[in-house]
Amino acid sequence: MTGLTYEEAVKHILNTEAIFETTTAQVAGVNFRVFKNIPTDLRALLQASREPQDDGKAEYLVFQNQRYSYDAFCNDINKMTHVLQDRFGIKPRDRVAVAMSNCPELLILMMAISSIGATCVFLNAWWTTEELRYALQDTDAKVVFADDTRSKRLQPLQDELELTLIGTGHAQPHPSFDDLMQVETRTEWPTVDIDPDSDFAIMYSSGTTSDPKGVALTHRGAVNAVFTWLVQAAIAPLINPPDDPNAEKPRPVTMITTPLFHVTATHPGFLLSLPAGAKVVLMDKWDADTAVNLIESEGVTRFVGVPTQSADIQLAAQKNGKRLETLAQVVAGGAKRPAAQVGDLAQAFPLAEIATGWGMTETNAIGIGLSGADYVAQPGAAGRLFPPLQEMLFLDDDGQPVAQGEVGEMTVKSPCNMRCYINKLDETSQAMQDGWFKTGDLGYIDSDGIITIVDRKKNIIIRGGENIACLDVEGALHQHPAILESCAFPVPHERLGEVVGAAVQTRSGMTITLEDLSEFLSTRIARFKTPEHLWIQTTPLPRGATDKIDRRALRSQCIAELGLNT
C-alpha cells in the first residue's frame, strides 16, 4: 500500500476525524484557531481519557515497585482535590507549589491542583534555597508539597514566607502527604467550574535576564497542545502504512525520564499518554542501565528524553546485549540532537522511528518535529510545524518577514502559547504581540516546509536539556570578591551537548581557582549552572563596538584553547 504525502495525510485526518475539527476562539481579544470538540480543561481530559484507558481498568502508571490502574490513579487525584479544598482552603486561581523529584505524588498533585481550578507552581528540584525563595515570592504560593531533599532547603524559608510545608518523603516533620491521603475517603470528581483560559501551571524558564521567568500556562493551551500531538500520531500510519494493516498493535507504553518540572516530561510525556491510552513508566533519576531493563521488562514503545539519554540507552543496550525490539519511537526533546547521533540511533534501533521535537515552555512544548526517513536524511533539521493550529513567521530585526530560505527569528502564533510571564509586563510585551510569540531562536524554512534552527538570539546554555541563562551564572560569579567582571557561554560537550564555561577578570592582587569557585557557588546557584571550564585573566574582557563584552569572540577564543569547534 502506497502511503500519502504529509500534506495529504493531514488533510485526510482533519476532514474525516471529528475530534480534530477546528473552529475559532477569541482569547484576550485575539482570534485563534482551536480544536472544537476536545475537552476544555485538564480535569475534563482526565475524565475523557478513561475510555481509551480500558474504561479505567488498564494498568496506567509504573514507578519502582508501585503500580496504578487508571481508576486508582484518578481516585488518588480526587482524594487530593478534597484535601486541598477542605484541609487547606484552596480555591480556583490559588497557587500551590510542588518541589520534588519524579514520583507519582507529583503527577497526582499536578492534576489535583488543576482539577479544582487552582494553579500548580513547579519548583525546579535542583534549585538552591535562594532560588526557591525567589519563585515562592514571585508566585506568592503558601502551600508547598516537597520531598525530603527539597524540604530541607525550604525549611529556612518556612517562617519568613509563612509557608505550609507538606512532606512526601520519609523524614516528614510536617503534615504528611500519605497521612492526608489515608484519612480521605472521597473519590468523586470535584465540580468547581474551571475557566479554560485560567492558569493550570506556572513553570520557570531561564531567559536572558538573571531572574528565571514564571511562565503562565492555561488549560486551553495545554489541551490543544496534546491534541496537536495526537494529529501527528494519526497521520503517521497514513504516511508509512504498516505491512499488515490488520495486525493488532501493541499498547503504547511511554517512558518518562526527564524532570517533571519541565514541559518535555509533563506534556508530550504525561499529558499525551492520557487520551492516547498509553501506560507510563516513570523514572525518578536517570540511569541508562535501569532504563534499558525497564524498556525490556515493561515493553516500552516510546522513549522521550534529551539527546544525551538517547545516546546513553544506545550504549547501555549494546553493552548489555539488548535489542529493545519493543521501541517504536526514540524522541529527542529539550535540546538539539547532534546530527551524527541520528544515523547511529537508526542503525542501533532499526525497528524504531528516530524523531526530534522542538518546543518551549512558553508554547506548552508544542512546536515542530521530524521523524523517520525524513529525519535520517536531514539530521541537522528541526522539522515541520505541527498542524493544524500553529502559524509561524521568520522575522528580521525590524519585525518584518524574511524570504523563504533566509534566516529570521522564529515567531509562532497558536492557542498553546503562554498567557504571560508572571509579574514581568515588559518581558511579556517584548515577547508577545497580538498572539504571536517571539521564540528567540533563529532559523529558516525551505520549500518543503522543513525548518532548520541555526542559532539563538538569547544567551542561553542548554546543558543536557536544562536551560541556563548566561546572566544568571554571571550574577552569581559577580558575588565572588575576587571577580571584577565575567562572561558565561556554552562550551560544546560530547554527551550533554553544552556545559557552562566562563571567562573572568580578577581584581588586582586576587586569585581564584575553578575548585574555589565551585565551592563558593554551591549555595548560590544550582550545581548544573556552575561553570565546568574557567578562563582567568587580569585584564578587561574583550569589548565590541558598543563597549559591551563581546561574548561570541570571547567564547570562540576560549573554546579554541580547548581544541574544540564552536
Task: Spell out the residues 6+ positions from residue 181 whose beta carbon is closer than 8 angstroms to its own.
Answer: 76, 79, 80, 83
The string of pLDDT tens digits covering residues 528-565 is 999 999 999 999 888 765 556 888 889 999 999 988 77
Q: Hey, what's the torsion of the CAs at 120, 125, 131, 133, to 10 degrees?
A: 50
Per the listing, cell 494553579 goes with: 119
The answer to whether 154 and 165 have CB atoms below 8 angstroms apart is yes
Whether the upstream peptide bond of residue 388 has omega within 30° of 0, thus cis, is yes
pLDDT score of 397: 83
Tell me how far apart the terminal alpha carbons of the chain are, to the nearest angstrom.
45
Distances from the Cα of 282 to the Cαs of 106, 255, 278, 300, 314, in angstroms?
Answer: 11, 6, 12, 11, 19
% of the chain exceeding 90 in pLDDT: 79
The amino acid present at 428, given as its one-letter code, is T
Separation between Cα atoms, residue 512 and residue 505, nearest integer Å: 10
The answer to whether 45 and 277 have CB atoms below 8 angstroms apart is no
The string of pLDDT tens digits covering residues 148-203 is 999 999 999 999 999 999 999 776 657 899 999 999 999 999 999 999 999 999 99
The string of pLDDT tens digits covering residues 361-379 is 999 999 999 999 999 999 9
Domains 6-37+218-456 and 68-195 share a fold: yes
* Spans of all domains in the chain: 6-37+218-456, 68-195, 468-561
Has residue 499 got a pLDDT over 70? yes
Mean pLDDT of 61-79: 98
The string of pLDDT tens digits covering residues 249-292 is 899 999 999 999 999 999 999 999 999 999 999 999 999 999 99
Check: CATH 3.40.1190.20 for 68-195? Answer: no
The CATH fold assigned to 6-37+218-456 is Rossmann fold (3.40.50)
Distances from the Cα of 407 to the Cαs of 85, 97, 456, in angstroms?
Answer: 50, 40, 11
Check: CATH 1.10.1200.30 for 468-561? Answer: no
Separation between Cα atoms, residue 13 and residue 126, nearest integer Å: 42
pLDDT score of 334: 77
CB atoms within 10 A of CB 57: 11
- Of the candidates 342, 303, 341, 336, the one whose C-alpha atom is nearest the C-alpha of residue 322 is 303
Q: Which helix (H) or strand (E) holds 367?
A: strand 367-371
Mean pLDDT of 28-45: 98
pLDDT score of 210: 59
* Bridge partners for 499 per DSSP: 491
pLDDT score of 551: 85
Distances from the Cα of 358 to the Cαs of 268, 292, 382, 450, in angstroms?
Answer: 11, 25, 7, 12
Q: Which helix (H) or strand (E) holds 519?
A: helix 514-521
Separation between Cα atoms, residue 34 and residue 495, nearest integer Å: 39
The torsion angles phi and psi of 427, rounded to 5 degrees, stand at -65, -35
Q: Which pLDDT band, with edges at 50, 70 and 90, does 79 fall under?
A: very high
Sign of the CA dihedral with 396 first, then 398, 400, and 403 last: negative
Q: Which pLDDT band, with edges at 50, 70 and 90, does 508 fall under?
A: confident
The amino acid present at 553, given as its one-letter code, is A
C-alpha cell at 252: 503504547
The answer to whether 161 and 133 have CB atoms below 8 angstroms apart is yes
Has residue 447 got a pLDDT over 70? yes
The string of pLDDT tens digits covering residues 300-319 is 999 998 888 898 999 999 99
pLDDT score of 65: 96
C-alpha cell at 137: 515570592
Separation between Cα atoms, residue 91 and residue 391, nearest integer Å: 35
pLDDT score of 442: 87
Q: Give the predicted TM-score (pTM) of the model.
A: 0.87
Q: For 402, which DSSP code? A: P
